[in-house]
Amino acid sequence: MNPANPTAPTIVACYSVYDDFFPALGFTDLTDGMYEGDAGRPYEAAQARQAEVLPDRAGVAAGARLLDIGCGYGRILRAAGARGAAACGITVSPEQVRRGVRAGLNVRLADYRHLGPEWDGRFDAVIANGSLEHFV
């Protein structure tokens, strides 16, 4: 994090509140999934579909190195890992980092706006799903 230009405290606080109860309610992540015009598709199926389509579009295959900006609870990281990719997620939520690390995922506490040059050239693909709206 960069103390001169911190992540808006309301964003971090918002996720701290969500992270207290969303997982307990069965939310596997923090976006609405992918319905592709099928309003009857169950939430879980929409989430699973999104976790396949986004890595497909980003060309994530075995051996690929993926950065997931705003990785939430790690759904995309898991899907990429299942393909044999090396997936790293960043988030501004300390609770999401704890949860992800506990689950064996590579999740770091970082604001994408402050990633240093040591992150350059380390990834073949980048996904930012449902996080763009926070980057203002």
| Residues making contact with ligand SAM (CB under 6 A) | 7, 11, 15, 29-31, 69-72, 75, 90-93, 96, 111-113, 129-131, 134-135
Least separation in angstroms between residue 38's CB and ligand SAM is 19
Q: Nearest Cα to 35, choosing from 45, 25, 26?
A: 45
The residues, ordered by sequence, that sit 6+ positions from 72 with a Cβ below 8 Å of its Cβ are 29, 30, 31, 91, 96, 130
Strand partners, 91: 109
Contact 110, 96 (CB under 8 A): no
Least separation in angstroms between residue 28's CB and ligand SAM is 8
**Residue (75 or 125) nearer to ligand SAM, CB:** 75
Contact 114, 1 (CB under 8 A): yes
Nearest residue to ligand SAM by CB is: 70
Least separation in angstroms between residue 114's CB and ligand SAM is 8
Least separation in angstroms between residue 129's CB and ligand SAM is 4
